[in-house]
Structure 1
Amino acid sequence: MNDRLTTREAAELLGVKPSTVYAYVSRGQLSSRRDPVGRGSTFDAAEVAALARRNRREAAAPSGELSVRTALTLIEPDRYWFRGVDAVELAGRYAYEEVAEWLWTGRLPHGARFTAPPELLAAARRAVAALPEHSGPVDRLRVAAAAAAVADPLRYDLSEEAVLGSARSLIPTLVGALPPVHGPGTGGRPEGDGGSVDGPATGDGPDTGGGDTGGGPDTGGGDTGGGAGPLAGQLWPRLTARPADPAAVAVLDLALGLLVDHDLAASTLAVRVAASARAHPYAAVSAGLGALEGPLHGAAGRLAHRMLQEVLEQGGAAPVVADHLRAGRRVPGLGHRLYAGEDPRATALFARLAELEAAAPALAAARDVVAVTARQGRGLHANVDLALAVLTVSCGMPAEAGETVFAVARTAGWIAHALEEYGERPLRMRPSGQYTGPRPPQPMP
């Protein structure tokens, strides 16, 4: 084999059209050089052969099984890892933005902060303000993502640098587009015209450390308008009317870091399918938000929140668990198909919540739910939805707050998976349907 191949030779070896060869070049999967003699390009033969082998491995995957290579998250029966680093330790030691940067780049810039560009934030807030008052958090986030996309003329640039720039802008834009929660006079419901650039102050808390001290970020120092403060501090007043207690904001930051990614969950797979079709990162995130809204995925925290409230109102978990089982409903916040014991994300959050005096009643209620179901021999352990419910109940947040935390946190993971997918063969996630309808030809209706 010659060291250099023509476009036609490369296309034949790859089994694709010549135009697809240039698509590989534009995505960085192949490098090319102008032919000094002819008018076309030449390609490194070894590089083309390696890409052909990779494409053949994908095509040879067992029928009906979708196998996706990823260097991001590894899940084991009792723990999970981000790029080979223990995810619980990482999230406990570094702020959410730093964990996101590690997942995206494999580097850990200390003190990383995300800032919403004014034009994106203004567009997102105007769009969210036009929604009906009863709109849910994922409704608002989907609309904010679409509006931010329209305001970003560079959204179609799928280079790594451009996608990461979009991610660092989109995440604080999503947070800043959410209306702040007002005090008891408004029933704690999200309100506001959505057009203000600055929300209410979160309060000034001391920096508890976003680095090696393991304390998480400061409370944001009053910056809630998509500014350069820590994202947990920006998100806090969008979840609760209570003043931002530094320890509680640190738990929120831990939750964000723990939820950054979890391999190929349903929403993440939706993101990769969109990215496989070369949807821009805003559209890929929108695909994830659509899948997230199902009651078996992101909305599960809302059910766990309401269950904990019932337990607290009734003074014990037994009658509440009995009601769920009598109605044929699963007890929310329990069990995870990927972990043999307690979800490690729940374990980490429970440990930090135990340090908050205000969380003691909700934490005891959660432990009571686990104990009651264990007595029934059901063998189910707490998952992250139950731990999120303890956080949202104890901090005076509404039932849908856990869903908001989940969606904001996971946006970073979705971007990481989209970046990986942009580097793969396009439209590779195209399963074949098994037709079960009447055999043709049938009479014309």
Structure 2
Amino acid sequence: MEWIDAATASERLGVKPATLYAYVSRGVLQRRHSEDGRRSLFSAEEIERLARRGRPRSQPPELVIESAITALGVDRPHYRGIDALGLALTSDFETVAAWLWTADPSLWHPSPPPPSTTPPHPPATSADPRPSAAPAHQRDPQPPATPEPWRCEDDALRAAVTAQRGLPDDLLPLDRLQVITTVLGASDSLRYQLDPVSVAATGRRMIAGLVDALPQLSEPQGDSIAERLWSRLCPRPATPGLLNAVQAALVLLADHELAASTLAARVAASAKADPYAVVLTGLGVLGGPLHGGASYGAERLLAEVAEPRQAARAIAERVRRGERIPGFGHSVYKNGDARGALLLDLVKEAAPGHDRITAGVAVLEEMRRRRLPERNVDFALATLTAVSGMVSGAGEAIFAVARVAGWLAHAMEEYDRGALLRLRASYTGPPVK
């Protein structure tokens, strides 16, 4: 069988390369990679058949971007080829963030990270195919001999805290994160260095600053991002099981291919926007009720169900108003979101018999009785924050902090690609005169 490259295939069909890849995503064409993994190859025979048949017009055109970061399976994502659910059970967030940013071994420490007071996960086994070392934590591209927790400079943190003075006390954490990101960017003299090592260092600083600049509600039980984030979202100490669930949530939400916020972040990065501007772009999209804000909607839904018998009324009222039920259904995982199943299992194991779990089960049963869509990771996240006793909007904050890792991974690809992402509109307005 003869195989031809993308340029040749596009020329034969008379379409742009983006359209060619859209045919692949829609199942119209198949492709394979060259031996060096750098080129996409297409069957010359299949291209010839399609050219004779004419372009498929049954579906609208799609934007297709090649990426080596995340592949979406039937019910779960895979980070650089590794099952995200497996990573959530074996790895901390910092390790997974570094795995998303780069698989370059020079950016990984040869020794494990320092133990915390409540280790979130058992170490990976020798059979685990991913790197088992921890990521570099310093601004210096050369890894230090002793790994240290991710930190942001004290002066920048003080500025970020000061910038929040005068804000309403009940402001949602996601809104605070946007203010913090702006201040952290203004104080970073290295923000315009866009090579992978510098962006990874910026990512460590930014994530640490986003967490540590939030108002502290309890004493951190360790130095990990998960432990420090808990202390900013919950006024009581973490139990090992619930902290384990927060750590898993950060891993499960770290990336999800070209979700709306990630696409926006990639467009910003393609224009060479700095990493802080990229993250601000992502945060602006994330809060929408059809994206990361869905966990806030699910949180409010659960709050209405003080006891199981109230679940039917809470769902019925939303159905009558024609509203989408927050925390249920998914545009990709039509038969269920495995991330949500895993996270719910961890919460149930951590707090068996908790009344918020009972309320959540009642909502799930009512949705199934009505044959409505299955729960997704947003519903599981809302259950986790409710069981933990976290502040309002905590799920959005967990989602946002986690997704910074993914946005920066995609930004790195765009910085390397060096071409502006320019979508085109299909004009439907009045005739042009």
Q: CA distance change for structure 1 residues 315 and 242 in 2, over 3 Å: closer, same or farther? A: farther
Cα displacement string for residues 236-264 of structure 1 (whole angstroms, at most 9, x for unaligned residues): 12111112222221111111111100111
Q: 249-258 vs 269-278, which deviates more?
A: 249-258
1:187 alignment partner in structure 2? none
Matches within 5 A, 1:244-263: 244-263=238-257
For the pair 1:432 / 2:420, whether they are aligned, the reply is no
Report the counterpart of residue 96 of structure 1 in structure 2.
93
Alpha-carbon separation, structure 1, partners of 2:170 and 2:295: 19
Matched, 1:71 2:68: yes
Secondary structure of the residue aligned to 1:81 is: strand
AA in 2 matched with 1:399 = S
Q: Which residue of structure 1 lines up, in the alignment, with residue 380 of structure 2?
A: 387
- Where does residue 175 of structure 1 map in the other structure? 211
| Deviation larger for 285-294 or 316-325 | 316-325
- Supply the distance in 2 between the matched residues of 1:358 and 1:309 (Cα, whole angstroms): 19
Shift of residue 313 of structure 1?
Answer: 4.2
Q: Distance in 2 between matches of 1:234 and 1:304?
A: 24
- Aligned residue type for 1:363: I
How far 1:422 sits from its partner (Å)? 0.6
C-alpha separation between the residues in 1 aligned to 2:166 and 2:64?
Answer: 41
Distance apart, 1:114 and its partner CA: 1.5
Kept in 2, the 8 Å contact 1:359–1:391? The answer is no
Please give the residue correspondences for 1:279-318 in structure 2 after superposition, counting only pairs within 5 Å: 279-313=273-307, 315-318=309-312
User: What is the percentage of aligned positions where both structures have the same residue?
Assistant: 43
Give the Cα–Cα distance (whole angstroms) in 1 for the partners of residues 391 and 299 of structure 2.
8
Aligned-pair distance for 1:234?
A: 0.5
The aligned counterpart of 2:150 is: 114
1:129 Cα deviation from its structure 2 partner? 2.5
Partner of 2:409: 416
**Are the equivalent residues in 2 in contact too, given 1:278–1:426 (CA < 8 A)?**
no
Letter in 2 for 1:121: L
- Measure the CA separation in 2 of the matches of 1:117 and 1:358: 40
What is the CA distance between 1:339 and its match in structure 2?
Answer: 1.2
1:201 counterpart residue number: 219
Q: One-letter code of the match for 2:245?
A: V
- Given that residues 282 and 407 in structure 2 are in contact (C-alpha distance below 8 angstroms), is that contact kept between their aligned partners in structure 1? yes
Computed over aligned residues only, the root mean square deviation of the Cα atoms, in angstroms, reads 2.4
> Are the aligned partners of 1:359 and 1:395 in contact in 2 as well (CA < 8 Å)?
no
CA gap 1:245/1:426 in 2 versus in 1, 3 angstroms: same
Match for residue 375 of structure 1 among 365, 369, 375: 369
**Residue type matched to 1:422 in 2?**
Y
Counterpart amino acid of residue 67 in structure 1: V
1:400 to 380, 393, 396: 393
Is 1:348 the counterpart of 2:342? The answer is yes
Paired with 1:375 and 1:244, the residues of 2 have a C-alpha distance of: 35
Counterparts in 2 of 1:29-40, with a 5 A limit?
none
For residues 133 and 142 of structure 1, what CA distance do their matches in structure 2 show?
A: 16
Q: Distance in 2 between matches of 1:306 and 1:114?
A: 33
- TM-superposed CA distance for 1:376, in Å, is 1.6
Q: Does the aligned pair in 2 maintain the 1:298–1:403 contact within 8 Å? A: yes
Secondary structure in 2 aligned to 1:355? Answer: helix
User: 2:78 is paired with a residue of what secondary structure?
Assistant: strand
Q: Distance in 2 between matches of 1:332 and 1:436?
A: 32
**Superimposed CA distance per residue, residues 110-153 of structure 1 (whole angstroms, 9 cap, x where no aligned partner):** 32431122232222222223434343222211111111111001
State the SS of the aligned residue for 2:306: helix
Structure-2-length-normalised TM-score: 0.74
Is 1:152 the equivalent of 2:193?
no
Counterpart Cα distance in 2 of 1:389 and 1:339: 19
Which residue of the other structure, out of 151, 159, 162, is the alignment partner of 1:126?
Answer: 162
Partner amino acid for 2:151?
T
Q: Which amino acid aligns with 1:180?
A: Q
Radius of gyration: which is bigger?
A: 1
Q: CA deviation at 1:438?
A: 3.8
Q: CA deviation at 1:439?
A: 3.9
**Cα distance between partner residues in 1 of 2:343 and 2:318:** 25
Instruction: Tell me the secondary structure at the aligned position of residue 392 of structure 2.
Output: coil
Which residue of the partner structure matches residue 211 of structure 1? Answer: none
Per-residue deviation, residues 342-394 of structure 1 (Å, max 9, x unmatched)? 2111111111112122663222222222221222223x111011101111111
For residue 398 of structure 1, report the CA deviation from its aligned partner.
2.6
- Contact 1:359–1:390 (Cα < 8 Å) also in 2: no
Give the gaps of 5 or more residues in structure 2. 1-37, 42-56, 114-133, 135-148
Contact 1:358 1:394 in 2 (8 A): no
User: Quick one: which amino acid aligns to residue 268 of structure 1?
Assistant: T
Distance in 2 between residues matched to 1:372 and 1:131, nearest whole Å: 39
TM-score (norm 1): 0.72
C-alpha distance in 1 between matches for 2:351 and 2:396: 24
The residue matched to 1:407 in structure 2 has which SS? helix
Distance in 1 between residues matched to 2:66 and 2:75, nearest whole Å: 22
Deviation per residue, 1:270-318 (Å, 9 max, x gap) = 1000000000001000000000111111111111111112123464421
What secondary structure does 1:354 align onto? Answer: helix
SS of residue in 2 equivalent to 1:330: coil
Q: Distance in 2 between matches of 1:135 and 1:312?
A: 24
1:423 alignment partner AA: D
